[in-house]
Amino acid sequence: MARVFITGSSDGLGLMAAQLLVETGHAVVLHARNRQRAEDTKRKLAGAEAVVTGDLASLAETQALAEQVNRLGRCDAVIHNAGVGLHERLVRTAEGVPHVFAINVLAPYVLTALVERPKRLVYLSSGMHRGADSSLGDLDWRKRRWQGSAAYSESKLCDVLLAFGVARRWPGVFSNAVNPGWVATKMGGPGAPDSPDDGRRTQAWLAVSDDAEARVSGKYFRKQRPQAHDPAADDRARQDKLLELCQRFSGVALGGA
């Protein structure tokens, strides 16, 4: 049995993956944005071990969330599932970064740095990461006119860079990115063509499976198979630049091997 922490698991793919893991005998720590949503989440999945709370748009709450997880004990895997989509308007956090970047990239980075190191890390990306601006020159959107879809795509490229950069820094950890597909969730909308089951199975499989195909690192998966990703994500200098920028924005350092 593995213990798995899943961010953004009060609904959508995060909750679906949690349900699958609980059904197959694993211990799951859920995450909700606030206490009210946490109470609702407990009712949705009574078999979960615990529900922790924290708004990932807030650096302080994200740091406190890491402390809550650590108090529960070491997790075998963390699935960084939480995210916001491509139709968001520009809202800046207390740190001055767009909340799309804060939730989709900075929060996974901070939790990776502060939660006791697990055996496996799974970062949810998107097929929309391909072709995104890979310069990392304006992640806080100070120089450009805001475009929600571009900010989302850029954040999903950053998630692949984060997964690959951590894979390099922590060779003892399996760190991978997942494209769950365009699925019919609150974010994806009712007309999405892909099966939610495929999305949830891939992230759960990477988190707990003993299959040799799942015990790898620095890969990008869809439907439990490695998939081609934007070549920009393989650039080690770009990976390191993202980690440096995340440290600058958050004040939190990511340790080495």
pLDDT given at position 191: 56
- 97's CB contacts (< 8 A; 6+ apart) are 106, 139, 140, 249
Share of the chain above pLDDT 70, in %: 94
Catalytic residue among 156, 186, 219, 241: 156
Q: Domains plus CATH for the chain? A: 3-250 (3.40.50.720)
- Structural contact between residues 59 and 95, judged by C-beta atoms closer than 8 angstroms: yes
Residue range 161-190: mean pLDDT, rounded: 84
- Structural contact between residues 85 and 15, judged by C-beta atoms closer than 8 angstroms: no
The model's pTM is 0.95
Catalytic (active site) residue 220: no
Tokens of 109: 């980075």
Whether 10 has a pLDDT exceeding 80, the answer reads yes
The model's confidence at residue 197, banded by pLDDT at 50, 70 and 90, is confident
The model's confidence at residue 186, banded by pLDDT at 50, 70 and 90, is low
Whether 189 has a pLDDT exceeding 90, the answer reads no
- Structural contact between residues 105 and 129, judged by C-beta atoms closer than 8 angstroms: no
181 DSSP 8-state letter: -
Please tell me which residue, 55 or 200, carries the higher pLDDT value.
55
Catalytic (active site) residue 152: yes
- Structural contact between residues 5 and 115, judged by C-beta atoms closer than 8 angstroms: yes
Q: What is the mean pLDDT of the chain?
A: 94
* Listed range (68-82, 176-190, 238-252) with the worst mean pLDDT: 176-190
Whether 188 has a pLDDT exceeding 60, the answer reads no
Tokens of 135: 């310069």
- Structural contact between residues 6 and 14, judged by C-beta atoms closer than 8 angstroms: yes
Question: Which residue carries 């950053």 as its tokens?
Answer: 158
Residue range 8-35: mean pLDDT, rounded: 97
Catalytic residue among 109, 123, 152, 220: 152
214-246, pLDDT tens digit by residue? 999 999 999 999 999 999 999 999 999 999 999
Provide the CB-side half-sphere exposure for 114 (13 A, CA): 23
* Whole-number Cα distances in Å, 34 to 14, 40, 71, 100: 16, 10, 18, 18
CA dihedral 205, 252, 53, 89 (to 10 degrees): -90
37-64, pLDDT tens digit by residue? 999 999 999 999 999 999 999 999 999 9
118-135, pLDDT tens digit by residue? 999 999 999 999 999 999
* Nearest in space to 201 (alpha carbons), one of 214, 190, 188: 214
